[in-house]
């Protein structure tokens, strides 16, 4: 909870630290009702800040100071200044040691930041500014130190004692306690510190690095989960190999550990040598985790492992540079997943997510640049913009430099900055220097917020055989009121002839054609590119692979989109053409609904999706992606003013039409794949994910037909499936169906079977809170009373409240404002014990500008009610005040 008026912090005010901490020696005495933390800091004046000995200002929050000494001299309260956030002392020499002892209370820490307890075990989360809740320290990423950590605890309750680095000593202690000491040879900022103490089992494996060093790999979990670690272990080994092969990066300690905890504010944390994970991102086996969960585990394990270089060995100078490590690491994990699975499908999923959620953030009151220039609470800036748009920015650099040039740049970056805390400018500089290029204008992607629009028009001159494309950039206003300059926008494109073939691309002035797909850089506000030797009017395929995070528009008609869906050589753009066709058809129906007309769907959508469904040569996962209509959240994002009811009605109507008209094709795909599932053991691999994804989307369409044979199939799949992917889909289609008896039975059976597995119960909560049938709010409220629900557990809050407010738009946006009131009440409650989760759950209310004036008033009213509700955490304060500004 904040103690003073929250202050805005600015990037331009950055100054190097006054003092450095060469060594950090920590001792934790862990007890049931308190913990004692002794810290010995070996410090010196930062030579970069000149002579003189200014006061030493240490960060510290919620600490009970028991003693503090400078060198041999114990300080008395008149020797230091203590505030709720800081301890200030006066050093007397340029080099000195500072010893302190504090008492803290992990056992009552509900914010899950600093040292806390989860299911009886001790664990930590220090990024970004949690270390200051553990001891007095210079809690900023540019202060890097060598850490030695000793933990002592009850031997029976906490047989496992872990920290960063390598274990160097351990032993018994009186009173049935024991201790262990860990030493991390690498300098690191405090945000990468971790400790764990608990009764844990582990799965162990080995990895031999490219220089033939053997590394011990361990995944620690609660005993009942020991059978759910193999997928994470496989993912870890694949990640380690991939980082060696693709980036030349080798692991550097003798041991790498992952610990799964049940109460965690986000997915996972890359602490040096000791990654701490939300159990939802580690545990996976066929019977309890869906395919999507398996893929998420693989991606998050990889992401945290990759941070060992992009984040830990080379870290951030300050938190404004967060995307330096996050954007780059998301890019790395996305490429890893693309290599392990279907590249095109991975790209489609990521782009759909970006355009639905990051574009919405970038158009809302919290919009900020990839490198923000100010913040109140850094926890609010672990955003889609910093992560996902940041990753797109790195992807554009690779597109512009090519794979080899990009690798040269990353090699130079890691070599030049190993052991340093650096900035996004340093990253760009390494890319420039390694390639002899200049990226000055490109860097605007780091400083200008908002999604650029790129309007494209064409002109074909049959006589001259030239074809020109004109690009116009424009920039929406963002809350910072910034004047924006043109971006560098890499546009990968191709031109199709009337047969669907690709045309050789030669720009005016070039000696020869350079292939049939190429990247052009749009750098000016308006710019025309003219292709020569174009014998007939072509059809352009623009922004292949989504080569830049922009809103591109080109006046395609529906027949042209159908043509691209069939013929484009770029798989991503075939999907994209289908999405654009669906958007056009749905928007037409949204208009019909608004005018009170009967809904009529353009048959071309049925024809187009029918031929995709019938094409046995296509990857089944691609078929599944193409059959998925744009979601309601995406349709909201692209609307000027979103009409919640019309969007829902149009999309539902379209789905029902498709289900009825494509019934036979869907049924054939469903039956064929279900038959295979019955005879094949579950495998968590690409081809199997693909076949189940088509089977399951087919089932969800088929269920809309209401036919008894489909109901029977869903029940059969629910009862007999040997894996959670099929069982969960069957449950979801029943929950969303009108068959109330079958639904109630399935829900009860499922809850009975899985009542002891919290992660499976999360899915059970979500599927009900996300159901768009009427009565969503009542269902959600009733579920909050269920014995398996717990507001203190972030996974439960996300599963229930997040699913209701984030995915169940028709219920959340009920015209009477009841959904908004419910969310605001919850945010007020959450603010009292977990500010980070409170602030995250607020996001749907911040989008009020998208809705009609009645809903706007209701949403703003709830934001105002939160603002007036009492003492707000800085997290909630920042989001609420910016949303109302
Ligand atoms: N670096 C952490 C995020 C920490 C968030 C702190 N509020 C996880 C990740 O991005 O890998
Ligand atoms: Zn990360």
Where do we find the tokens 């546009």? 491
Helix axes 644-661, 571-594, angle to 10 degrees: 120
Helices (H) and strands (E) in the chain, counts: 30, 31
CA-angle at 546, arms to 513 and 643, nearest 5°: 140
Residue 5: pLDDT band by 50, 70, 90 thresholds? confident
Residue 406: alpha-carbon gap to chain centroid: 24
State which of 265, 274, 382 you would mutate to test the pocket of ligand 1, scoring each by most atoms of that ligand within 8 A of its C-beta. 382
Q: Is 312 in the pocket of ligand 1 (CB under 6 A)?
A: no
Q: How far is the CA of 268 from the centre of ligand 1 (A)?
A: 7
Is-contact 599 650, C-beta < 8 A? yes
d(CA 540, CA 330) in angstroms, rounded, equals: 30
Cα(540) to ligand 2 centroid in Å equals: 37
Domains and CATH numbers, the chain: 1-199 (2.60.40.1730)
The owner of tokens 């009886």 is: 120
Q: 3-state DSSP: the chain helix, strand, coil percent, rounded to 5?
A: 45, 20, 35
What residues flank ion ligand 2 with Cβ within 5 A? Answer: 326, 329
381 lines ligand 1 (CB under 6 A): no
Residue 620 CA, chain-centre distance (Å), reads 26
Distance CA(70)–CA(521), nearest Å, equals 58
pLDDT digits (tens, 9 = 90+) for 229-282: 999 999 999 999 999 999 999 999 999 999 999 999 999 999 999 999 999 999
Give the number of the atom of ligand 1 that is nearest the alpha carbon of residue 836.
7
Could you tell me which of 766, 849, 809, 817 has the C-alpha nearest to residue 649?
Answer: 809
3-state DSSP call for residue 770? Answer: coil
**Coil vs helix vs strand at 403:** helix
Question: How many CA atoms does the CB half-sphere of 294 hold within 13 Å?
Answer: 23
Ligand 1 pocket residue status of 269, Cβ below 6 Å? yes
Between the alpha carbon of residue 344 and those of residues 322, 334, 501, 575, the distances in Å are: 28, 11, 20, 9
The mean pLDDT value for 30-50 works out to: 98
Structure tokens at 571: 């798989």
Looking at residues 181-198, what average pLDDT do you find? 99
Q: pLDDT value at position 4?
A: 61
What is the phi/psi pair of residue 55, to 5°?
Answer: -60, 145
Which among 121, 67, 73 is positioned nearest to 97, based on CA atoms? Answer: 73
Predicted confidence at residue 325, as pLDDT, reads 99
637 lines ligand 1 (CB under 6 A): no
Are residues 818 and 778 in contact, defined by beta-carbon separation less than 8 angstroms? no
Q: What is the pLDDT of residue 1?
A: 46
Residue whose Cα lies nearest atom 9 of ligand 1: it is 269
| 686: alpha, beta or left? (left if phi > 0; alpha if psi -120 to 50) | alpha
Q: Whose CA is nearest to atom 3 of ligand 1?
A: 269
Phi, psi of 749 (to 5 degrees): -60, -45
Q: What does the alpha-carbon distance between residue 301 and residue 493 come to, in Å, rounded to a whole number? A: 34
Mean pLDDT of 680-708: 97
Residue positions annotated with a catalytic role = 304
d(CA 517, CA 286) in angstroms, rounded, equals 41
Tell whether ligand 1 has an atom less than 6 A from the beta carbon of residue 304: yes
Q: Phi-psi region for residue 356, left (φ > 0), alpha (ψ -120 to 50) or beta? A: alpha
**Pick from 157, 167, 171, 156: which is nearest to 121 by CA?**
157
Q: Model confidence at 2, in pLDDT bands (50, 70, 90)? A: very low
How does residue 585 score in pLDDT terms, banded at 50, 70 and 90? Answer: very high
Q: What are phi and psi of 59, to 5 degrees?
A: -85, 145
Would you tell me how many other CB atoms lie within 10 Å of the CB of residue 685? 12
Under a CB-based contact definition with an 8 Å cutoff, are residues 321 and 329 in contact? no
For 360-415, what is each residue's pLDDT tens digit?
A: 999 999 999 999 999 999 999 999 999 999 999 999 999 999 999 999 999 999 99
pLDDT at 544: 98
Ligand 1 atom having least distance to the Cα of 378 = 7
What band does 9 get if pLDDT is binned at 50, 70 and 90?
Answer: very high
On average, the pLDDT of the chain sits at 98
Instruction: Name the strand (E) or helix (H) holding 227.
Output: none
Which secondary structure element, helix H or strand E, spans residue 255, and what is its range? strand 255-261
* 598: exposed, middle or buried (Cβ count in 10 Å: 0-12, 13-18, 19+): exposed
Residue 361 CA to residue 354 CA, distance in Å, equals 10
């Amino acid at each position: 909870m904040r103690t003073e008026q929250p202050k805005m912090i600015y990037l331009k005010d950055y100054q190097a630290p006054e003092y450095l901490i060469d060594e950090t020696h920590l001792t934790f005495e862990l007890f049931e009702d308190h913990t004692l933390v002794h810290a010995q800091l070996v410090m010196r004046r930062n030579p970069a800040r000149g002579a003189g000995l200014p006061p030493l200002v240490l960060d510290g929050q919620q600490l009970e100071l028991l003693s503090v000494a400078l060198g041999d001299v114990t300080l008395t309260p008149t020797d230091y200044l203590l505030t709720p956030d800081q301890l200030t002392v006066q050093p007397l020499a340029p080099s000195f040691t500072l010893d302190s002892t504090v008492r803290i209370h992990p056992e009552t820490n509900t914010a899950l930041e600093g040292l806390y307890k989860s299911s009886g075990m001790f664990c930590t989360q220090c990024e970004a500014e949690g270390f200051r809740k553990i001891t007095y320290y210079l809690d900023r990423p540019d202060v890097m130190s060598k850490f030695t950590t000793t933990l002592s605890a009850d031997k029976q309750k906490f047989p496992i004692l872990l920290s960063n680095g390598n274990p160097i000593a351990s032993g018994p202690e009186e009173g049935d306690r024991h201790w262990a000491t860990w030493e991390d040879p690498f300098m690191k900022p405090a945000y990468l510190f971790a400790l764990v103490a608990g009764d844990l089992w582990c799965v162990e494996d080995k990895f031999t690095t490219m220089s033939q060093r053997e590394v011990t790999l361990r995944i620690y979990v609660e005993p009942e989960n020991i059978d759910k670690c193999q997928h994470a272990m496989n993912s870890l080994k694949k990640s380690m190999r991939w980082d060696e092969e693709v980036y030349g990066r080798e692991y550097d300690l003798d041991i790498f550990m992952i610990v799964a905890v049940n109460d965690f504010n986000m997915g996972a944390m890359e602490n040096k040598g000791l990654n701490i994970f939300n159990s939802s991102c580690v545990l996976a086996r066929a019977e309890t985790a869906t395919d999507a969960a398996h893929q998420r585990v693989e991606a998050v394990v990889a992401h945290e492992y990759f941070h060992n270089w992009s984040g830990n060995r080379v870290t951030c100078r300050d938190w404004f540079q967060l995307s330096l490590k996050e954007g780059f690491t998301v890019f790395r994990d996305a490429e890893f997943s693309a290599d392990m699975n279907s590249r095109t499908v991975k790209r489609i999923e990521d782009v759909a997510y970006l355009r639905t959620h990051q574009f919405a953030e970038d158009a809302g009151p919290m919009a900020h640049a990839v490198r923000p220039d100010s913040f109140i609470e850094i926890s609010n800036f672990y955003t889609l913009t910093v992560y996902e748009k940041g990753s797109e920015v790195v992807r554009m650099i690779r597109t512009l430099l090519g794979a080899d040039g990009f690798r040269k740049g990353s090699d130079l970056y890691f070599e030049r900055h190993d052991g340093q805390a650096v900035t996004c400018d340093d990253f760009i500089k390494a890319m420039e220097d390694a390639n002899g290029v200049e990226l000055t204008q490109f860097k605007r992607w780091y400083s200008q917020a908002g999604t650029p629009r790129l309007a494209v028009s064409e002109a074909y001159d049959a006589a001259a055989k030239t074809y020109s494309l004109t690009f116009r950039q424009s920039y929406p206003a963002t809350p910072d009121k910034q004047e924006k300059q043109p971006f560098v926008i890499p546009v990968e494109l191709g031109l199709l002839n009337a047969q669907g073939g690709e045309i050789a691309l030669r720009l005016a002035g070039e000696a020869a054609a350079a292939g049939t797909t190429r990247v052009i850089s749009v750098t000016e506000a308006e710019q025309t590119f003219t292709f020569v030797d174009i014998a007939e009017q072509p059809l352009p395929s623009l922004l292949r692979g989504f080569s830049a995070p922009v809103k591109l528009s080109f006046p395609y008609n529906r027949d042209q989109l159908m043509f691209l869906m069939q013929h484009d050589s770029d798989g991503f753009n075939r999907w994209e053409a289908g999405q654009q066709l669906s958007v056009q058809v749905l928007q037409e129906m949204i208009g019909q609904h608004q005018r009170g007309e009967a809904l009529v769907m353009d048959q071309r959508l049925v024809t187009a999706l029918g031929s995709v469904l019938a094409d046995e040569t296509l990857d089944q996962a691609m078929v599944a992606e193409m059959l998925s209509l744009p979601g309601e959240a995406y349709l909201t994002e692209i609307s000027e003013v979103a009409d919640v009811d019309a969007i829902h009605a149009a999309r539902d109507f379209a789905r029902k039409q498709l289900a009825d008209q494509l019934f036979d094709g869907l049924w054939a795909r469903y039956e064929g794949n279900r038959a295979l599932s019955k005879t094949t053991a579950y495998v968590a691999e690409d081809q199997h994910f693909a076949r189940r994804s088509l089977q399951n989307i087919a089932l969800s369409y088929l269920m809309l037909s209401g036919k008894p044979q489909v109901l029977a199939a869903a029940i059969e799949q629910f009862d007999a499936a040997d894996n959670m992917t099929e069982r969960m889909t069957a449950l979801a289609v029943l929950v969303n169906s009108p068959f109330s008896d079958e639904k109630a039975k399935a829900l009860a059976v499922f809850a009975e079977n899985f009542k002891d597995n919290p992660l499976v119960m999360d899915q059970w909560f979500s599927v009900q809170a996300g159901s768009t049938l009427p009565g969503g709010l009542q269902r959600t409220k009733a579920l909050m009373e269920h014995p398996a629900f717990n507001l203190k557990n972030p996974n439960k809050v996300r599963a229930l409240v997040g699913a209701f407010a984030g995915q169940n738009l028709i219920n959340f946006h009920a015209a009477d404002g009841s959904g908004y009131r419910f969310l605001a009440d919850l945010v007020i409650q959450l603010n009292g014990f977990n500010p980070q989760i409170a602030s995250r759950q607020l996001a749907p209310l911040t989008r009020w500008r998208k809705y009609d004036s009645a809903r706007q008033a209701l949403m703003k009213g709830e934001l105002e009610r939160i603002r007036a509700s009492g003492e707000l955490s800085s997290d909630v304060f920042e989001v609420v005040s910016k949303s109302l500004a």
